[in-house]
Amino acid sequence: MTELSKTGAALGEPAPGNAPDAFLAVRDLKVHFPTDDGLVKSVDGLSFQVEKGKTLCIVGESGSGKSVTSLAIMGLHRLGAQGKHVQMSGEIWLDGKELVSADPDEVRRLRGREMAMIFQDPLSAMHPYYTIGNQIVEAYRVHNDVSKKVARKRAIEMLDRVGIPEPNKRVDGYPHEFSGGMRQRAMIAMALVNNPELLIADEPTTALDVTVQAQILDLIRDLQKEFGSAVVLITHDLGVVAEIADDVLVMYGGRCVERGSVDDVFERPQHPYTWGLLGSMPRIDRETSERLIPVKGQPPSLINVPSGCAFHPRCPYADIPKGDVTRTVRPELQQVGGGHFSACHLSPEDRTRIWTEEIAPKL
Amino acid sequence: MISYILRRTFAAVILLLVVTAVTFAIFFLLPRMAGQTADQLAQQYIGKSPTKADIAAVKQNLGLDEPLYAQYWHFIKGIVAGATYDLGPTTAHCDAPCFGYSFKNHVAVWPQLTSRLPVTISLAAGAAVMWLVSGVVIGVISALKPRSFFDRAFMGVALAGVSLPMFFTGNLALLLFTYQWPIFGRTYVPFTENPAQWANTLFPAWCSLALLYSAIYARLTRSGMLETMNEDFIRTARAKGLRERRVVARHGLRAALTPIITVFGMDLGLLLGGAVITETVFSLPGIGQYAVQGITDNDLPPILGVTLLAAFFVVIANLLVDLLYAAADPRVRLS
Amino acid sequence: MTAPIETTGAQAEAQPEAVLVGVDKGQIEGRSLGQIAWSRFKKDKVAVAGGVIVILLVLLAVLSRPIQAMFGLDPNALHQDLIDPNTSLPKGDFGGMSWDHPLGVEPKFGRDIATRILEGSWVSLVVAFGATILSNTIGAVLGVVAGYYGGRVDTIISRLMDTFLAFPLLLFAIAISATLQGGAFGLEGLPLHISVLIFVIGFFNWPYLGRIVRGQTLALREREFVDASRGMGARGPYILFRELLPNLVGPIIVYSTLLIPTNILFEASLSFLGVGIQPPQASWGGMLNQAVDFYQVDPQYMIVPGLAIFVTVLAFNLLGDGLRDALDPRSR
Amino acid sequence: MRRSALAAVAAIGSASLLLSACSKADDNGEDGNKSAGANAATKGVVNASTQKGGTVTYEYSDVPDSFDPGNTYYAYMYNLSRLYARPLMTFKPGPGEEGNTLVPDLAASAGQPSDGGKTWTYKLRSGLKYQDGTAITSKDVKYAVERSNFARDVLSLGPNYFQQFLAGGKDYKGPYKDKSAEGLKSIETPDDTTIVFKLNTAFQEFDYLVATPQTAPVPQAKDTGIDYVKSIVSSGSYKFQSYDEGKQAVLVKNENWDPKTDPLRKQYPDKIVVKLKVNAETIDQDVQAGDAIDLGGTGVQAATQAKVVNDAKLKANTDNTYGGRLVYMAINTQVAPFNNVACRKAVEYAVDKVSVQTAEGGPIRGDIASTVLPPDIPGYQKADVYATTGNKGDVAKAKEQLKACGKTTINTNISARSDRQQEIDAATAIIASLKKVGINASLKQYPSGKYFTDYAGVPTFDKKQNIGLHMMQWGADWPGGYGFLQQILNGGAIGASGNTNLSYLDDKQINEALAKAIATEDETARNAQYAAIDKRAMDLAALVPLTYFKVLLFRPDNYTNLVSSAAFSGQYDYLNIGTTKK
Is residue B99 included in any domain, yes or no? no
Is residue B101 included in any domain, yes or no? no
Task: Tell me the nearest-neighbour CA distance from C296 into chain D, angstroms.
Answer: 6
Is residue A281 included in any domain, yes or no? yes
Contact B277 C306 (CB under 8 A): no
Residue A4: pLDDT above 70? Answer: no
Chain A residues near residue B234 by CB distance under 8 angstroms: 80
- So what's the pLDDT on residue D2? 44
Look at phi and psi of residue D158 and say left if phi exceeds 0, alpha if psi is from -120 to 50, else beta: beta
Contact C108 D15 (CB under 8 A): yes
List of domains in chain C: 107-325 (1.10.3720.10)
CA dist C192 to A219, B25, C95, D374, D417, Å? Answer: 74, 22, 33, 38, 17
- So what's the pLDDT on residue D3? 40
Chain D residues near residue C78 by CB distance under 8 angstroms: 355, 359, 428-429, 432
Q: Are residues A265 and A172 in the same domain?
A: no
Contact B50 D498 (CB under 8 A): yes
Domain boundary among B59, B94, B129: B94
Exposure pattern of D489-512 as b/e (b: 16+ CB <10 Å)?
bbbebbeebbbbbbbbbbbeebbe
Report the range of poorest mean pLDDT among B80-84, C184-188, C288-292, D47-51. Answer: C184-188
**Considering Cα of A71, then A73, then A76, then A79, what sign does the dihedral take?**
positive
Alpha-helical segments (H) within chain C: 9-21, 25-43, 45-71, 113-149, 151-166, 169-179, 189-204, 206-221, 224-231, 236-238, 245-273, 284-291, 299-327
Helix (H) or strand (E) holding A246: none
- So what's the pLDDT on residue B133? 93
Looking up residue B121, the CATH number of its domain turns out to be 1.10.3720.10
| Confidence at A282, pLDDT banded by 50, 70, 90 | low
- Asked if A192 is an interface residue toward chain B (Cβ–Cβ < 8 A), one would say no
Of A238-252, C116-130, C140-154, D358-372, highest mean pLDDT: C116-130
Higher-pLDDT residue of D571, B48: D571
Residue D82: pLDDT above 70? Answer: yes
| Averaged pLDDT score across all residues of chain C | 80
- Asked if B226 is an interface residue toward chain A (Cβ–Cβ < 8 A), one would say yes
Contact D432 C83 (CB under 8 A): no
How deeply is C191 buried, as exposed, middle or buried, from its count of CB atoms within 10 A (0-12, 13-18, 19+)? exposed
Higher-pLDDT residue of A92, C37: A92
Residue D137: pLDDT above 80? Answer: yes
Is residue A212 included in any domain, yes or no? no
| Count of domains observed in chain B | 2
Report the range of poorest mean pLDDT among A135-144, B277-286, C124-133, D48-57. Answer: B277-286
Q: Which domain holds residue A358?
A: 255-362
| Count of domains observed in chain A | 2
Q: In what order do the strands lie in the sheet with A230-235?
A: A115-118, A198-202, A230-235, A55-59, A247-252, A255-261, A340-342, A334-337
| Confidence at B233, pLDDT banded by 50, 70, 90 | very high
- So what's the pLDDT on residue D1? 41
Please, which residues 183-222 of chain A have a Cβ atom closer than 8 Å to chain C? 205-206, 208-210, 213-214
Report the range of poorest mean pLDDT among A165-169, C199-203, C229-233, D345-349. Answer: C229-233
Chain D residues near residue C181 by CB distance under 8 angstroms: 418, 445-447
Report the range of poorest mean pLDDT among A9-23, A118-132, B248-262, D453-467. Answer: A9-23
Chain C residues near residue D22 by CB distance under 8 angstroms: none
Residue A64: pLDDT above 60? Answer: yes
Q: Are residues B183 and B224 in the same domain?
A: yes
When pLDDT is averaged across residues A90-119 and rounded to a whole number, the result is 90
- The rounded distance, in Å, linking the Cα atoms of A88 and A78 is 9
Residue B165: pLDDT above 70? Answer: yes
Is residue A286 included in any domain, yes or no? yes
Contact D15 C294 (CB under 8 A): yes
Is residue A214 included in any domain, yes or no? no
Is residue A183 included in any domain, yes or no? yes
Residue A82: pLDDT above 70? Answer: no
Is residue A180 included in any domain, yes or no? yes
- The rounded distance, in Å, linking the Cα atoms of D303 and C266 is 28
Task: Tell me the pLDDT tens digit for each residue of B69-95.
Answer: 888 888 888 888 877 776 656 667 777
Q: Are residues A259 and A342 in the same domain?
A: yes
Q: How many residue contacts between A and B have a Cβ separation below 8 Å?
A: 80
When pLDDT is averaged across residues D34-58 and rounded to a whole number, the result is 84
Q: Are residues B9 and B39 in the same domain?
A: yes
DSSP D100: G
Task: Tell me the pLDDT tens digit for each residue of D202-259.
Answer: 999 999 999 999 999 999 999 988 889 889 999 999 999 999 877 899 999 999 999 9
Q: Are residues A272 and A183 in the same domain?
A: no
Is residue B287 included in any domain, yes or no? yes
CATH code of the domain occupying D63-236: 3.40.190.10
Using CA coordinates, name the residue in chain A closest to C8. A210
Chain B residues near residue A132 by CB distance under 8 angstroms: none
Half-sphere exposure (Cβ direction) of D279: Cα atoms closer than 13 Å: 20
**Does D321-550 match D63-236 at the fold level?**
no
When pLDDT is averaged across residues B221-226 and rounded to a whole number, the result is 88
Give the residue from D363, D429, D484, D423 showing the smallest Cα distance to D6. Answer: D423
- Asked if D431 is an interface residue toward chain B (Cβ–Cβ < 8 A), one would say no
Task: Tell me the pLDDT tens digit for each residue of C240-265.
Answer: 777 777 778 888 888 898 899 999 99
Of B244, B255, B329, the CB nearest to A79: B244
Contact B276 C163 (CB under 8 A): no
- Asked if A238 is an interface residue toward chain C (Cβ–Cβ < 8 A), one would say yes
DSSP D157: S
Contact B234 A109 (CB under 8 A): no
Residue D30: pLDDT above 50? Answer: no
- So what's the pLDDT on residue C14? 27
Other C-beta atoms lying within 10 Å of the C-beta of residue A206? 18
Is residue B335 included in any domain, yes or no? no
When pLDDT is averaged across residues A232-260 and rounded to a whole number, the result is 90
Contact C179 B31 (CB under 8 A): yes
- The rounded distance, in Å, linking the Cα atoms of A254 and A236 is 14
Crossing angle between the packed helical segments C151-166 and C113-149, to the nearest 10 degrees: 150
- So what's the pLDDT on residue C116? 94
Q: Are residues B114 and B147 in the same domain?
A: yes
Looking at chain B, the whole-number percentage of residues with pLDDT higher than 70 is 91
- Asked if D314 is an interface residue toward chain B (Cβ–Cβ < 8 A), one would say no
pTM, two decimal places = 0.81
Residue A363: pLDDT above 80? Answer: no
Higher-pLDDT residue of B23, D368: D368
CB of D214 closer than 8 Å to CB of D162: yes
Report the range of poorest mean pLDDT among A105-119, A319-333, D104-118, D540-554. Answer: A319-333
| Confidence at D21, pLDDT banded by 50, 70, 90 | very low
Using CA coordinates, name the residue in chain B closest to D419. B296
- So what's the pLDDT on residue B88? 59
Contact D309 C86 (CB under 8 A): yes
Domain boundary among A179, A195, A211: A195
| Confidence at B44, pLDDT banded by 50, 70, 90 | low
| Confidence at D273, pLDDT banded by 50, 70, 90 | very high
Chain B residues near residue D419 by CB distance under 8 angstroms: 296
Chain B residues near residue C169 by CB distance under 8 angstroms: 270
Q: Which domain holds residue B218?
A: 109-328
- The rounded distance, in Å, linking the Cα atoms of A141 and A152 is 10
Contact A282 C7 (CB under 8 A): yes
Is residue B183 included in any domain, yes or no? yes
Residue D10: pLDDT above 80? Answer: no
- The domain spans of chain D are 63-236, 321-550
Domain boundary among A195, A215, A233: A195
Fold classification of D321-550 (topology level): Dipeptide-binding Protein; domain 3 (3.10.105)
Looking at chain A, the whole-number percentage of residues with pLDDT higher than 90 is 35
Domain boundary among B94, B128, B162: B94
- Asked if D243 is an interface residue toward chain B (Cβ–Cβ < 8 A), one would say no
Beta strands in D199-297 (DSSP E): 238-244, 248-253, 271-275, 293-294
Residue B20: pLDDT above 50? Answer: yes
- Asked if B332 is an interface residue toward chain D (Cβ–Cβ < 8 A), one would say no
